[in-house]
Amino acid sequence: MAKRTVRDVDWRGKRALVRVDFNVPFDAAGAISDDSRIREVLPTIAHIREGGASVVLGTHLGRPGGKRADDLELAPIAERLAELLGTPVEYVHDAPGGLARERAETLREGDVLLLENLRFWPGEEANDPAFAQGLAALADVYVNDAFGTAHRAHASTEGVAHLLPAVAGLLMEREVAFLGRVLEDPVRPLAALLGGAKVGDKLRVLERLIAHADAVYVGGGMAATFLAAQGLPTGTSLVESGLIEACAAMIETAGAALHLPTDVVVAERIEAGAPTRTVAAGAVPDGWMVLDVGPETAAAFARELAGMGTVVWNGPMGVFEVPPFDAGTRAVAEALAESSAVTVVGGGSTAEAVARLGLADKMTHVSTGGGASLEFLEGKVLPGIAALDDA
């Protein structure tokens, strides 16, 4: 990518402020249930430490709305990071203030300091210049390795990048390389597989990929709006009435390149064990809703995707969190895992699905950014990337 990276910096004697995305999920007992976002940043931290620098890490967790919240403090993350790094991680209940700066200035080569949840301060999401200045005072060089927040113009993702030499981390570099290749130079044929609940979340991506890809496959709850655009019954499925016209236009524009479900799994409620039916896509009964693609559709999608050169996948095929509505997602995930295609999986629920199925390591690239990956594929300029120094 045309931005400087951590490889372009002489780290000897320097202090790095690294924006990471440790917004990890926790289980009911308060333990981290998936530490993949922490693991993904370890190469960047290692590169900087091995170069002779100390590291100050900043992240958010949850949505505290600019106020302190005991359940969103970062102590569990500091503990897990220390285990993964095999070295102590100092954790300070401060971010832009005097205590954080005092601790940062005592760091020695290879030391690691984790700041408190940045969203405890309203200046973070407001991109307040004073908050950004406070962060900049902690280091000599800024590194953005938080692709998942690169679409946000916050103080720690955009503001501070204008105050220090600013470079990309290794994860950011990898994310941009894989997603950029999908848009600029994919191995063809290129297929886009899009799912999830709402067309509105992916409308711009759909429009762009219909023009760019060789084939586009649509599943998930969003398929119901496409069915409605064809005048077909959808029962109580979520249909975005304001987007029916747009879906109809996409169906006409894409022609044979757009593949919609031919059968769907329906139920009267989203509940494990609820009675289900598999019906033709045009025969959803009154009072029932589309909750997964049907077995005929799943098999067809899996078979056709396996023969592609590149597949970019964003959005599950059904409500995968609630069996049996995970069957369609499982079928396409297994097909992609076994294929020779370059498989690029969007973040968010899609990444969660392949991780839950134990197939993440069989994909070419699993993005750490849900909203960021969507906006990147839409062709939007992501402020957290744009603000970094050009190569």
* Cα–Cα nearest to 365, from 196, 204, 233, 176: 176
The answer to whether the beta carbons of residues 18 and 145 sit under 8 Å apart is yes
How many whole angstroms from its chain centre is CA 344?
Answer: 11
List, by residue number, the catalytic residues. 37, 198, 348, 371
Decide the pairing of beta strands 90-91 and 112-114: parallel
Tens digits of residue pLDDT in 125-145: 999 999 999 999 999 999 999
Mean pLDDT of the chain: 96
Mean pLDDT confidence for 233-250? 96
- Look at residue 1 in the predicted model and tell me its pLDDT: 60
Whether the predicted pLDDT of 168 surpasses 80: yes
Q: How many CB atoms lie within 10 A of CB 67?
A: 10
Mention every residue, 6+ apart, whose C-beta is less than 8 A from residue 114: 57, 59, 74, 77, 78, 81, 89, 90, 91, 92
For residue 90, what is the DSSP state? E
pLDDT for 174-191, tens place per residue? Answer: 999 999 999 999 999 999
Q: Which residue has better confidence, 352 or 81?
A: 81
pLDDT score at 370: 84
Length of the chain: 391
Q: 237: how many CB neighbours lie within 10 A of its CB? A: 20
State yes or no: pLDDT of 306 exceeds 90.
yes
Instruction: Read off the pLDDT band of 97 (50, 70, 90).
Output: confident
Task: Give me the residues paired with residue 369 across strands.
Answer: none
**pLDDT of 3 over the 80 cut:** yes
Alpha carbon distance 312, 207 (integer Å): 14
For the chain, which domains are there?
6-173 (3.40.50.1260), 186-378 (3.40.50.1260)
Place of tokens 């886009």: 192
State the distance between the two ends of the chain, measured CA to CA, in whole angstroms: 8
pLDDT of residue 65: 96
pLDDT at 249: 96
Residues 180 and 186: beta-carbon distance below 8 Å: no
What the block records as the tokens of 98 is 């005097």
Q: How much of the chain is in helix, strand and coil states, percent to nearest 5?
A: 40, 15, 40
What is the model's pLDDT at position 302? 96
Distance in angstroms (rounded) separating the CA atoms of residues 305 and 270: 28
pLDDT score of 328: 97
Strands 215-218, 258-259: parallel, antiparallel or unpaired by DSSP? parallel
Task: Give the pLDDT confidence score for residue 140 in this predicted structure.
Answer: 98
Mean pLDDT of 204-233: 96
